Amino acid sequence: MIELAGLTKRYGEKVAVDDLTFTVRPGTVTGFLGPNGAGKSTTMRMILGLDHPTGGDVRIDGRHYHELTDPLTYIGALLDAKAVHGGRSAYHHLLCLAQSNGIPERRVHEVLETVGLAAVARKKAKGFSLGMSQRLGIAGALLGDPRILMFDEPVNGLDPEGIHWIRSLMQSLAAEGRTVFVSSHLMSEMALTADHLVVIGQGRLLADTSMADFIARNSRSHVRVRTPDRERLLDALHRAGIQVVQGGDGALEVDGGRSEEIGELAARHQVVLHELSSRQSSLEEAFMRLTASSVEYHAHAEPAERPWGADWSTRTGPPPEGTVRDAAPTTVEG
Ligand SMILES: Nc1ncnc2c1ncn2[C@@H]1O[C@H](COP(=O)(O)OP(=O)(O)OP(=O)(O)O)[C@@H](O)[C@H]1O
């Protein structure tokens, strides 16, 4: 278990981590999300005692990191895959870690097998691809067979097979009752891997909840309708007092609508439908919705021709700051 209580880190005027209080529990994969610069790496570094908090406290199974004897047997971490002495082989890198933590040499061979690097164990780390370096970093985290594992962007550089492998690994570690805390920017991957989410923005806690609850609370559910009789359907919906939003590819979207109600309305007016489907936002959309106002670094490549609420489904970038939660649906006149 990792427990943060009021954890705070300032760099001069900059508050990188702002009064964070949450607990990472055993038996689940906890995803750690936040926009660039939100404070995820700083938080992880403080958990490992690599940065000193300006305020607050963080404990690993009730103790500070520096109080742990042989810390790799309590908590294994991958923070920076390239932080390896390039002149050392994978085997020697892990052997040095093992010897300084009282871990038997046989664990080096075991973890090299686990991460699929046994065949290149004697090769120098400086020749490793990013994916191989990630695997070596994961081997280092697993070396002490710890009850707690922490990974900062572990799928960075991994190919699809590698991504699938790390997902299965994290889930099996959690199933063994271990604490697994993992950050990632790959939302689709996180949606498949994590059971619980901690989301931060500008150093502050935005959410600490289950994956299902997070998506339900921050997502937009709507019914998507496609019809060749667009004007007649719009007229029928308008008369029934149902607000319609312009979706992508000419589809219509009804916020929070029930597909049964819309289907029956269309049938009563003998309007042909080509599509009638209930949709819920993905984790990525829910994440962007929650963190919209705490994104520090925006790209401004796409001019907003229509209000955000009018074309939610076709946008790929984050919404204009401060508009999402306040955006009223744009009614399409029939
Ligand atoms: N050593 C430092 N000195 C000054 N500012 C720092 C230092 N380390 C981090 N920061 C600042 O603290 C904030 C949080 O950075 P951090 O790297 O923890 O964010 P992050 O969520 O891990 O970002 P990313 O997703 O881009 O990796 C950023 O604004 C960063 O510029």
Q: Give nearest CA residue, ligand 1 atom 28.
A: 37
Question: 174, 195 in Cβ contact below 8 A?
Answer: yes
Interval 104-128: pLDDT, tens:
999 999 999 999 999 988 888 888 8
pTM: 0.78
Q: Identity (one letter) of the amino acid at 301?
A: A
Q: Are 248 and 313 spatial neighbours (Cβ–Cβ below 8 Å)?
A: yes
pLDDT for the residue numbered 70: 86
| Nearest atom, ligand 1, residue 185 CA | 25
In the CATH scheme, what architecture does the domain 219-334 have?
Answer: 2-Layer Sandwich (3.30)
> Residue 318's Cα: distance from chain center in Å?
15
Phi, psi of 8 (to 5 degrees): -140, 140
> Ligand 1 pocket: which of 13, 14, 297 to mutate (most atoms <8 Å of CB)?
14
Helix (H, G, I), strand (E, B) or coil at 219: coil
pLDDT tens digit sequence for 214-249: 888 887 788 999 999 999 999 999 999 998 988 878
Q: What is the pLDDT of residue 233?
A: 94
Residue 17 CA: nearest ligand 1 atom is 14
* Distant-in-sequence, close-in-space partners of 287: CB < 8 Å, separation ≥ 6: 33, 187, 199, 218
**pLDDT digit string, tens, across residues 74-95:** 999 999 777 777 778 999 999 9
- Over the chain, what is the mean pLDDT? 84
Which residues form the pocket of ligand 1, taking CB atoms under 6 Å from any ligand atom? 11, 14, 16, 34, 36-42
**What's the pLDDT at 306?**
34
> What percent of the chain is predicted at pLDDT more than 70?
87
Q: Which residues pair with 2 in a beta bridge?
A: 24, 60
* Atom in ligand 1 nearest the alpha carbon of residue 296: 29
More confident residue, 326 or 91: 91
d(CA 115, CA 214) in angstroms, rounded, equals: 32
Confidence of residue 139 (pLDDT cuts 50, 70, 90): very high
> Is pLDDT of 161 > 60?
yes
> Which residue puts its alpha carbon closest to atom 11 of ligand 1?
16
Atom of ligand 1 nearest to the CA of 45: 18
Q: In this predicted structure, what is the pLDDT of residue 48?
A: 95
pLDDT higher than 90, residue 300: no
User: What is the arithmetic mean of pLDDT over 21-34?
Assistant: 96
Domain positions in the chain are: 2-216, 219-334
| Residue 284 confidence class, pLDDT cut points 50, 70, 90 | confident
Distance 39 CA to ligand 1 centre (A): 6
Q: Which of 40, 50, 181, 297 to mutate to test the pocket of ligand 1 (most atoms within 8 A of CB)?
A: 40
Residue type, 260: E
Topology of the domain comprising 2-216 = Rossmann fold (3.40.50)
At residue 323, the 3 state secondary structure works out as: coil
Q: Return the number of other C-beta atoms located less than 10 Å from residue 157's C-beta.
A: 17
pLDDT at 55: 96
What are 164-220's pLDDT values in tens digits?
999 999 999 999 999 999 998 888 888 899 999 999 999 999 999 999 888 888 877
Its ipTM equals: 0.96
- The answer to whether 146 and 173 have CB atoms below 8 angstroms apart is no
Distances (CA, A) of 62 to 20, 47, 81: 17, 12, 28
The residue whose CB lies within 8 Å of the most ligand 1 atoms, and thus the one to mutate among 8, 10, 11, 156, is 11
pLDDT of residue 330: 36
Please give the Cα distance from 185 to 283 (Å, whole number).
Answer: 11
294 confidence band (pLDDT: 50, 70, 90):
low
pLDDT band at 295 (very low <50, low <70, confident <90, very high): low
Report CA 334 to chain centroid distance, whole Å.
Answer: 40
Assess whether pLDDT exceeds 70 at residue 298: no
The token duo for 165 is 């492998």
